[in-house]
Amino acid sequence: MLIDNKRPTTVSIGSILLVPGINSVDDGLWDTTLASKSWAKPIKGLIKDEQIKVMDDRKKLTIEMVKNTVDENLLSEWLANPAHKGPLRGAIKTQIEALELVSDED
């Protein structure tokens, strides 16, 4: 499952850590956390306030989604997928390179 963290900061929900942008989260972990009495209400509040957006990971990947992703592992997974071709593949490569430049500056 994909979760889009629209906040400019990292969000921690139980054992789930969401960096700004698109995050890949295990379906079972998400379902367990959402079913938890202590996390159900805060998660629903974040969704209602549009601070996070839950997306089906089978949804067609778009260039806009790639531009909003800072998770290098997720970007690498997408790059390895042979179904991602043309401009989408170029956007993935560009985003990975941009993140590498930022990490080199640190």
Three-class SS of the chain: CEEEECCCCCEEECCEEECCEEEECCHHHHHHHHHCHHHHHHHHHHHHCCCEEEECCCCCCCHHHHHCCCCHHHHHHHHHCCCCCHHHHHHHHHHHHHHHHHHHHC
pLDDT of residue 106: 60
pLDDT of residue 59: 75
**Per-residue pLDDT tens digits of the chain, which is 106 residues long:** 899 999 999 999 999 999 999 999 999 999 999 999 999 999 999 999 999 999 877 778 899 999 989 999 999 999 999 999 999 999 999 999 999 887 776 6
pLDDT of residue 3: 94
pTM of the entire structure? Answer: 0.76
